[in-house]
């Protein structure tokens, strides 16, 4: 007997929260490997043959609250470019994946986003570039961890109608802009100092 998908809108036992995060992107961009790299040995893969997909379960905490996350992977069925509506049903967040070595997979993200918006137009989305050069693998692993954690927090915030996640994102953007302005200002000051030194040197030489 085939397994059936859980009801993600149903309240969990006690204080537990259950959320669904889906991965979208062209075939062979490495969606499964991306999830496995984040979960490492802690994941529990489960085959949902009814929908021809693989489900990865991950237990974590968000704001001191237990959260059970199901990452849905397409199991290669995305080659049909026509995902079953059940794949999008009750999703709380989406990770769009492209292959950094194949430009067409990046261009096709707009098609995946368009299809997603037909079923779940308001859920938060993150974009991940996969298959980066081996030299950057350790750096990319750290980046993946932050990305997946952000996706989980976004999913929890979306399910609870919370604005906390977006407020934090806006604060991070404001801090980034401030740091960028400070760095630009510092570089400009250094440039002016160098120009003055060059000018003084020219006067001395003359």
Q: For the chain, give me the number of helices (H) and strands (E)?
A: 6, 6
Res 98: pLDDT: 87
| Burial status of residue 4 (CB atoms within 10 A of its CB: 0-12, 13-18, 19 or more) | exposed
Q: For residue 7, how far is the Cα from the chain centroid? A: 23
H/E run at residue 38:
helix 31-39
Superfamily of structural domain 27-163:
P-loop containing nucleotide triphosphate hydrolases (3.40.50.300)
One-character DSSP codes across 167-183: HHHHHHHHHHHHHHHHH
What sign does the CA torsion over 182, 188, 194, 197 have? Answer: negative
CB atoms within 10 A of CB 50: 13
CB atoms within 10 A of CB 36: 16
Q: pLDDT per position in the chain (206 positions), as tens?
A: 345 556 666 655 556 788 999 998 888 888 887 887 777 654 455 545 445 677 888 888 888 888 888 899 876 656 545 667 888 889 999 988 888 888 898 888 898 988 888 998 888 888 888 876 544 454 454 455 566 677 767 666 666 655 554 565 555 556 555 655 665 566 555 555 555 555 555 555 55
HEC readout, 107-144: HCHHHHHHHHHHHCCCCCEEEEEECCCHHHHHHHHHHH
Q: Where are the chain's structural domains? A: 27-163
Which residue bears the tokens 């030299």?
135
Does the pTM surpass 0.85? The reply is no
CB 22 within 8 A of CB 94: yes
């Amino acid at each position: 007997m085939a397994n059936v998908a859980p009801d993600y809108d149903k309240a969990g036992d006690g204080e537990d929260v259950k959320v669904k995060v889906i991965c979208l992107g062209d075939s062979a961009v490495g969606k499964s490997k991306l999830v496995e790299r984040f979960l490492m040995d802690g994941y529990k893969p489960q085959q949902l043959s009814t929908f021809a997909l693989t489900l990865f379960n991950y237990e974590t905490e968000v704001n001191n609250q237990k959260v059970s996350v199901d990452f849905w992977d397409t199991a290669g069925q995305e080659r049909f470019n026509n995902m079953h509506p059940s794949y999008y049903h009750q999703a709380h967040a989406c990770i769009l994946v492209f292959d950094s070595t194949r430009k067409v997979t990046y261009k096709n993200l707009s098609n995946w986003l368009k299809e997603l918006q037909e079923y779940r137009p308001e859920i938060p989305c993150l974009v991940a570039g996969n298959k980066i050069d081996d030299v950057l693998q350790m750096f990319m692993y750290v980046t993946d961890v932050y990305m997946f954690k952000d996706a989980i927090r976004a999913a929890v915030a979306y399910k609870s109608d919370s604005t906390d996640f977006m407020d934090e994102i806006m604060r991070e953007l404001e801090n980034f802009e401030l740091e960028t302005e400070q760095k630009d200002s510092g570089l400009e000051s250094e440039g002016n100092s160098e120009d003055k030194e060059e000018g003084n040197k020219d006067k001395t030489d003359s």
